[in-house]
Amino acid sequence: MDWQTSEDSEAARPITDADARQLIGKPPASGAWREGDPVADRRFVPIGDLPLEVGGSLPHVRIAYEQWGTLNAARDNAVLVLHALTGDAHVVGPAAPGQPTAGWWAGMVGPGLPIDTDRWFVVAPNILGGCQGTTGPASLGPDLVEWGGRFPFLTIRDQVAAQAAFADALGIDRFAAVLGGSMGGMHALEWAIGLPDRVGRVAVLAAPPASTADQIALNSVQTEAVRSDPRFRGGDYYDAPDGEGPHRGLALARRMALLNYRSAGELNERFGRSWQSDVSPLGAHGRFAVESYLDFHGNRFPRRFDANSYIRLVDAMSSHDVGRGRGGVEAALATISAPTLVLGIDSDRLYPVADQERIARAVPTTVDGPRPIVLESPFGHDAFLIEREAVGRSIARLLSL
């Protein structure tokens, strides 16, 4: 099999028989990293209580992160890498006990690579509300019970506020660059607009300036798929008597998302109408190859992710609007002072190039003038993860400024 993985913390690589063996047995109630699990390459830093945009605060927040390279004496060579929806802090490196996936951006961070760790000190936090070590719904609340359905609504701005507090805890006043794709690109934009004195350069890869009604609608059906699973139990499934979580609903949401991450042309060319069985496609048994592709990734996902985190993070993406309270999108983008890389993908049907064109027209200083760099790729939205050579050239160009 040669199926590529998708917009998440899994490396874009062929699926192997070893991958398939991971699906033996029922999924856990949650695929979140839990206290007592192997730490792997994670580091942890507490940032205290975090005020939230909608009111109230989240107490005792902790950020999990990974790092590469060395922070120099002037503390001015730090680069912040921000992951997409279902990613984590594990940007590069193999899977390991406590770390269910290989790094999601292999070949991008390291000595001599586009984000050269001989020059740059790279940090990547797991996002607030995530499930790989940072405070999220699967974390224990003040009462030492998982937050579950009690975990508060988060916005993109809340998550950036947590990242800024994380930087403070590390003693980093200003990042030489903030880089992010998809959801991470939303964060990068918020850094550039809300914290301009703390950002030297910005990369926004395959992300919009605000979520549209169409994108919010796609998000809503995914979260409803999770909530409609009887085993969701209002978000309180961690200690269910039968040990079962809402893995069917989460797998269905994942299948829906995959259709937005890859292009129609790629799916048609790769799978066509090929059949995964000797039984005729007109018969009652067997499946089309594309159905098996969705099945594999849908069924794998609950083994490494948490259903409550998925809902909170998808809802945060729906909240994304850089113009909210700032006089509109164009007015907000016009305040960006950092040199900005805006990159879109010609086959992206989740965040199409029109979104990046709107950003590039309004930002005063972009790498390629008043237009985005458009990557030609059959891989759709996932191309920012898969087309590493082309993306790496653009990022290296930004970092050379």
Q: What is the pLDDT of residue 273?
A: 84
Beta-bridge partners for 343 = 205, 373
Q: What is the pLDDT of residue 281?
A: 54
∠ at Cα 184 (313, 107), nearest 5°?
125
Nearest to 394, CA basis, from 205, 200, 226: 205
Confidence of residue 21 (pLDDT cuts 50, 70, 90): low
Q: What is the pLDDT of residue 294?
A: 87
Confidence of residue 271 (pLDDT cuts 50, 70, 90): confident
**Of 182, 292, 318, 377, catalytic:** 182
Q: What is the pLDDT of residue 3?
A: 34
Interval 309-318 mean pLDDT? 98
Active site residue 381: yes
Spatial contact of 257 and 242, defined as CB atoms under 8 Å apart: no
pLDDT tens-digit profile of 69-120?
A: 999 999 999 999 999 999 999 999 999 999 999 999 999 999 999 999 999 9
Confidence of residue 333 (pLDDT cuts 50, 70, 90): very high
* Residue, of 382 and 15, whose pLDDT is higher: 382
Q: What is the pLDDT of residue 11?
A: 32
Q: What is the pLDDT of residue 24?
A: 59
Alpha-carbon distance of 149 to 141, in angstroms, equals 11
Lowest-pLDDT range of 21-25, 347-351, 393-397: 21-25
pLDDT tens-digit profile of 224-267?
A: 999 999 999 999 999 998 889 999 999 999 999 999 999 999 88
Query: Count of CB atoms within 10 A of residue 324's CB?
Result: 16
Active site residue 90: no
Spatial contact of 179 and 82, defined as CB atoms under 8 Å apart: yes
Beta-bridge partners for 366 = 340
**Of 88, 355, 381, 394, catalytic:** 381
**Of 348, 377, 382, 394, catalytic:** 348
Active site residue 348: yes
Alpha-carbon distance of 251 to 302, in angstroms, equals 7
Confidence of residue 12 (pLDDT cuts 50, 70, 90): very low
pLDDT tens-digit profile of 272-308?
A: 888 776 555 555 556 788 888 888 888 899 999 999 9
**CATH second-level architecture of 17-210+322-399?**
3-Layer(aba) Sandwich (3.40)
Query: What percent of the chain has a predicted confidence (pLDDT) above 70?
Result: 91
Query: What percent of the chain has a predicted confidence (pLDDT) above 90?
Result: 83
> Mean pLDDT, the chain, as a whole number?
92
Greatest Cα pair distance in the chain: 68
Confidence of residue 6 (pLDDT cuts 50, 70, 90): very low
Interval 2-16 mean pLDDT? 41
- Look at the alpha carbons of 88, 94, 99, 100 in this order and tell me if their dihedral is positive or negative: positive
Nearest to 325, CA basis, from 185, 163, 180, 194: 194
Alpha-carbon distance of 361 to 354, in angstroms, equals 11
User: Does residue 50 register a pLDDT over 70?
Assistant: yes
Confidence of residue 375 (pLDDT cuts 50, 70, 90): very high
Alpha-carbon distance of 214 to 212, in angstroms, equals 5
Q: What is the pLDDT of residue 291?
A: 85
Q: What is the pLDDT of residue 20?
A: 52
